[in-house]
């Protein structure tokens, strides 16, 4: 399949993604069923993962949206993270950040320190995908769906130059 100038092939199927989300939801349900939780969804990429995940959670929660963008070449993280931060009501509350993919870790590290300023009780992170070999900064991600090698992927919310987010499966770049 071609998107813009690049070729992609299937990498993670929709079925595999859905069973991963069920597994993550099971762990999160165990940890938070007796707590009040605020789910902070990182836009744009995490919107599809989050939509499926939150519907598998069996406790009440507040949902907030936050947009983070790292500028640079399209298939590499630049490290310049721009966060648009509304005035979030998370003081004294448990927070779970929902992210699509952790690559260098720079986005989540900026998001986490921005959220910490509001005085939450705790902050944990869940991500559908992690590329551990790409980390530039250590970041503690409590609930990781699938670990992959350092390959660029699209689909299920993830884009290549703003295309491919709507694909139900995840594709990896080949050339
Ligand atoms: P980090 O700051 O390097 O951890 O990058 C996180 C952000 O980079 C994610 O929220 C994605 O928007 C983007 N990103 C990283 N890897 C990929 C990928 O393989 N495909 C699409 N976007 C990616
Ligand atoms: Mg993104």
Pick the catalytic residue from 31, 103, 159, 169: 103
pLDDT of 73 reads 47
Question: Cα(137) to centroid of ligand 2, in Å?
Answer: 17
CATH of the domain at 60: 3.40.50.2020
Nearest CA to ligand 1 atom 3: 104
Q: Residue 106: inside a domain, yes or no?
A: yes
Q: Residue 161: inside a domain, yes or no?
A: no
103 is an active site residue: yes
Beta-sheet pairing, 80-84 with 153-154: unpaired
Beta-sheet pairing, 37-43 with 61-71: parallel
Beta-sheet pairing, 170-173 with 153-154: antiparallel
Question: Cα(160) to centroid of ligand 2, in Å?
Answer: 10
Question: Cα(103) to centroid of ligand 1, in Å?
Answer: 5
Nearest CA to ligand 1 atom 20: 153
Residue partners of 52: CB distance under 8 A and separation at least 6:
18, 21
Please tell me the number of the ligand nearest to residue 78's CA.
1
Kindly provide the residue ranges of all beta strands, DSSP E only, lying in 36-92, ordered along the sequence: 37-43, 61-71, 80-84
pLDDT higher than 90, residue 70: no
Q: Residue 172: inside a domain, yes or no?
A: no
Question: What is the number of domains present in the chain?
Answer: 1
**Nearest atom in ligand 1 to 131's CA:** 16
Could you give phi then psi for residue 29, rounded to 5 degrees? -60, -40
pTM of the model: 0.95
pLDDT higher than 60, residue 117: yes
Question: Cα(43) to centroid of ligand 2, in Å?
Answer: 7
pLDDT higher than 70, residue 161: yes
Q: Residue 31: inside a domain, yes or no?
A: yes
Ligand 1 test: best mutation among 41, 44, 106, 158, most atoms within 8 Å of CB?
158
pLDDT higher than 70, residue 78: no
Q: What is the mean pLDDT of the chain?
A: 93
pLDDT higher than 60, residue 72: no
Range of the domain at 63: 14-151
Q: Residue 35: inside a domain, yes or no?
A: yes
Q: Residue 165: inside a domain, yes or no?
A: no
Q: pLDDT tens for residues 5-59?
A: 999 999 999 999 999 999 999 999 999 999 989 999 999 999 999 999 999 999 9
Nearest CA to ligand 1 atom 10: 101
Spatial separation of the C-alpha atoms in residues 97 and 33, rounded to whole Å: 16
Q: Residue 110: inside a domain, yes or no?
A: yes
Q: Residue 175: inside a domain, yes or no?
A: no
pLDDT of 14 reads 98
- Bond before 44 cis per omega within 30 degrees: yes
pLDDT of 71 reads 57
3-state helix, strand, coil in the chain (%, to 5): 25, 35, 40
pLDDT higher than 90, residue 81: no
């Amino acid at each position: 399949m071609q998107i813009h100038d690049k070729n992609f092939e299937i990498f993670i199927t929709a079925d595999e993604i859905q069973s991963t989300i069920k597994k993550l939801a099971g762990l999160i349900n165990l940890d938070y069923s007796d707590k009040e939780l605020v789910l902070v969804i990182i836009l744009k990429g995490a919107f599809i993962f989050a939509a499926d995940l939150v519907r598998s959670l069996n406790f009440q929660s507040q949902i907030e949206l936050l947009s983070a963008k790292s500028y640079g070449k399209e298939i590499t993280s630049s490290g310049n993270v721009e966060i648009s931060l509304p005035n979030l009501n998370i003081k004294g509350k448990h927070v779970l950040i929902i992210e699509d993919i952790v690559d260098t870790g720079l986005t989540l590290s900026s998001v986490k320190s921005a959220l910490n300023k509001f005085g939450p009780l705790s902050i944990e992170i869940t991500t559908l995908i992690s590329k551990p070999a790409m980390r530039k900064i250590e970041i503690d991600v409590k609930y990781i769906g699938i670990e992959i090698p350092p390959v660029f992927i699209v689909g299920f919310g993830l884009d290549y130059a703003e295309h491919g987010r709507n694909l139900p499966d995840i594709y990896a770049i080949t050339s």
